[in-house]
Amino acid sequence: MNIGSVSAKSGLPAKTIRYYEEIGLIAPDRTPNGYRDFSDTHVHKLTFLHRARSLGFTIEDCRTLLALWEDKARASAEVKHIAQDHLAEIETKIADLMDMRDTLAHLVDTCAGDHRPDCPILKQLSGETPDEKEA
Amino acid sequence: MNIGSVSAKSGLPAKTIRYYEEIGLIAPDRTPNGYRDFSDTHVHKLTFLHRARSLGFTIEDCRTLLALWEDKARASAEVKHIAQDHLAEIETKIADLMDMRDTLAHLVDTCAGDHRPDCPILKQLSGETPDEKEA
DNA sequence: GATAAAGGTTCCAGCAACAGGAAGGTCAAG
DNA sequence: CTTGACCTTCCTGTTGCTGGAACCTTTATC
């Protein structure tokens, strides 16, 4: 199967598939003309990678998960551990972003957003405590 | 003022300050020995940048915000617009991460995490519908 | 048979926003 | 005079691709 079809089936851009080969995540065969030749197993792996990536796992996590997936004697604890670590990182990111959001939302709310130069957003960034809307 | 003191005052690593100079965010003077020489204004700018960056604004946003900050005739609408766009991006990121978190949390929850190979996480990634904990 | 479109190939550059480290100059203290 | 703490520049690496150039192959059409 050519890379185009695999791209369509796995949902990954051809560029990404080539990249995954380059970093050793997948190893397609080659036809005599030099084209990559993928089997259904390769497609399955790539689909797996696509799903794992869209859950935010890093490439290195994906590499490990793929190995565990192929290891029929793995312990599910290993997989769970990776997922839990990743989950914790996501929670942290969410918390950080929510802090940013709260601060920003407040600033946006207090800024008149008109033609005048007075701006609580810039005030806060420059270290001044911006005036509140209501005292 | 040397870069070390500025780093301490602004909270930015010296490396970052040099980088900011390289990309034209700041332009310190030089002493005869070649050392960078920062004024209080420079420190103030860097502190501004530090705050803006920690609210997640991109470097290019920061560049614009800094220019608006220096432009005493700016319209606060311009600042508000940037902040609102950024806020929207943050909201999107939070939503994406929360989707990931929900899926992952569910998977982690259904995985026994013991010595056995059976693993709902891998099942889901490989495209099988994993069994639920309770039917 | 000529040609053009639609695949495929490799390789190189670039993104964001720095961080790490090498090799070396400078300065103040003991 | 040496030691150590600074400072300098320059180069590489990070993460996960994406875009583009320059070039083959295959297939369809005239």
For chain B, residues with pLDDT lower than 50 are 134-135
Does residue B25 lie within 7 Å of nucleic acid chain C, judged by its CB?
A: no
- Is residue A62 less than 8 Å (CB to CB) from chain B? no
Residue that terminates a domain, selected from A26, A54, A71: A71
Verify whether the Cβ–Cβ distance A55 to B100 is below 8 Å.
Answer: yes
| Structural domain range at position A90 | 75-135
CB neighbour list of residue A59: distance below 8 Å, 6 or more residues apart: A23, A25, A53
Whether B33 and B8 share a structural domain: yes
Reading the block at residue B49, the tokens are 């940048």
Whether A127 and A113 share a structural domain: yes
What's the CA–C1' distance between B124 and C5, in Å?
40
For chain A, residues with pLDDT lower than 70 are 130-135
What region, left, alpha or beta, does residue A11 occupy, with left being phi > 0 and alpha being psi -120 to 50 degrees? left
Residue that terminates a domain, selected from B71, B91, B126: B71
Give yes or no for a contact between B121 and A77, defined as CB atoms under 8 angstroms apart. Answer: no
Whether A131 and A102 share a structural domain: yes
User: Parallel, antiparallel, or unpaired for β B36-37 and B29-30?
Assistant: antiparallel
Residue B52's pLDDT is 97
What's the CA–C1' distance between B117 and C20, in Å?
40
Query: First vs last Cα of chain A: how many Å apart?
Result: 69
Verify whether the Cβ–Cβ distance B51 to A122 is below 8 Å.
Answer: no
**Residues A26, A47: Cα–Cα separation, whole Å:** 12
Q: Which residues 56-75 of chain A have a CB under 7 Å from nucleic chain D?
A: 58-60
Residue B135's pLDDT is 38
Whether B13 and B66 share a structural domain: yes
Mutate one of A76, A82, A96 to test the B interface: name it (highest B CB count within 10 A). Answer: A76
Whether A102 and A52 share a structural domain: no
- Is residue B121 less than 8 Å (CB to CB) from chain A? yes
Residue that terminates a domain, selected from B42, B71, B100: B71
b vs e for A33-71, b when ≥16 Cβ sit within 10 Å of the residue's Cβ? Answer: eeebebeeebbebbbbbbbbbebbbeeebbbbbbebbee
Reading the block at residue A111, the tokens are 């800024």
**Residues B24, B126: Cα–Cα separation, whole Å:** 48
Whether A84 and A63 share a structural domain: no
Q: How many domains does chain A have?
A: 2
What's the CA–C1' distance between B14 and C15, in Å?
23
What's the CA–C1' distance between A35 and D27, in Å?
16
CB neighbour list of residue A2: distance below 8 Å, 6 or more residues apart: A35, A36, A37, A38
CATH number of the domain that residue A16 is part of: 1.10.1660.10
Q: Find, among B79, B84, B75, the residue nearest to B66 by Cα.
A: B79
Mutate one of A49, A98, A104, A114 to test the B interface: name it (highest B CB count within 10 A). Answer: A104
Q: Kindly state the DSSP code that residue B25 receives in the 8-state scheme.
A: S
Q: Which residue of A has its CA nearest to B62?
A: A125
Whether A67 and A80 share a structural domain: no
Backbone dihedral angles phi then psi of residue B50, each to the nearest 5 degrees: -60, -45
**Residues A37, A41: Cα–Cα separation, whole Å:** 11
Whether A64 and A93 share a structural domain: no
Whether A4 and A21 share a structural domain: yes
Give yes or no for a contact between A26 and A39, defined as CB atoms under 8 angstroms apart. Answer: no
Verify whether the Cβ–Cβ distance A111 to B55 is below 8 Å.
Answer: no
Whether B57 and B3 share a structural domain: yes
Verify whether the Cβ–Cβ distance A84 to B108 is below 8 Å.
Answer: yes
Residue A128's pLDDT is 85
Whether B58 and B80 share a structural domain: no
- Is residue A95 less than 8 Å (CB to CB) from chain B? no
Whether B89 and B43 share a structural domain: no
